Chain A
Amino acid sequence: MICPNKHEPGVECADCRGFAAVWERLDEFAAPEVTPGFDARLYARIAANEARVLAWRRWLWPPVAPVAAAVALAALVLFIHTPPTAKPASTTEIEQVAQAVDDLDLLTPIDR
């Protein structure tokens, strides 16, 4: 079993007997049977979860993706064409870029 003492297989030491006694006593801790309806409740949870995921995808994908892509493209163009000596980006532009990056994150698959 779990006895750390070195001895021949089949030979019991006092520790072996001690651990064997514990092993036997642990049998007293029986677990109750699973209640009826467990599977039905589980499948209901799975169905609810799947419905939530589907609803989220339906809400997210159609309107947001093209807008997010357009904003991201605009941000990229702005970044490429802004000369180094140009005036510092305004707070509004910084916020637009930050929003575009956030929107890009939304394009990653939900279940990844």
Chain B
Amino acid sequence: MEAAAALERDAQLMLRVRAGDDTSFALLLERYRGPVVHFLYRMVPNQAVSEELAQEVFLRVYRSRATYEPSAKFTTWLFRIATHVALNSIRDRKKEKGHESLDEEMLDGMERQVADRQQTVEQEMVHEVKRREVRQAIEALPAKQRAAVLMHKYEGLDYAQIAAVLRCSESAIKSLLFRAYESLRGRLAHMA
């Protein structure tokens, strides 16, 4: 009930943005900056790229304000844009994947070291290995399965919303998610 009310508030905020209220846009940005950046980071594990893509998402939201219609939940619309941007980026980056992946891992390793100073070195290394394995397992999924898992697991979208984002049926999404989680289960089975 509370979630439904919050979603409706977001559509109302976006309608105010349509009417020229930039403060409402700032409120939406505050609410969804994190989720969108985190979703895009897990889609294309590179912090700089994910933030660049997230900015593209919010720029598109702002540019579309004049024609916005609350025909779907705001989060559905927002994640549809984010997924579209992410899938385009993945497609474009496949060509450059060879020499960039090492840089991404090194940078991410450095970021984790800065963030996790509280842990011992050993704990940090174990954590980093696990994180990398999960990241690689997710990265190995086909792009749409990846997007569905990320929306389901990390962003809390339900089957209906994910189906609306990916423009397919709920039963197709359930099937997609089942295959994705099966694949992840196989890849991560060795992790204790």
Residues 11-39 of chain A, each 1 if its beta carbon lies under 8 Å from chain B, else 0: 00000001101110110111111110011
Q: Interface residue tally of chain B, by bracket?
A: 35 or more
| Inter-subunit contact B115/A32 (CB<8 Å) | yes
Report if A2-B174 is in contact (Cβ < 8 Å); known contacts: A29-B42, A31-B42, A35-B47: yes
Q: Report the separation of the CA atoms of residues A23 and B181 in the bound assembly, to the nearest whole angstrom.
A: 9
Closest to B26 in A: A39
Interchain Cβ contacts under 8 Å between A and B, 24 examples: A2-B174, A19-B185, A21-B185, A22-B181, A22-B185, A23-B153, A25-B130, A25-B134, A25-B188, A26-B154, A26-B184, A28-B130, A28-B131, A28-B133, A30-B131, A31-B41, A31-B154, A32-B41, A32-B111, A34-B33, A34-B37, A38-B33, A38-B51, A42-B55
Q: Judge whether B127 and A28 touch: CB under 8 Å.
A: yes
Looking across the interface, which residue of chain A has its beta carbon closest to that of B191? A25
| Interface SS of B by simple majority | helix
What is the CA–CA distance of A34 and B134 in the complex, to the nearest angstrom? Answer: 21
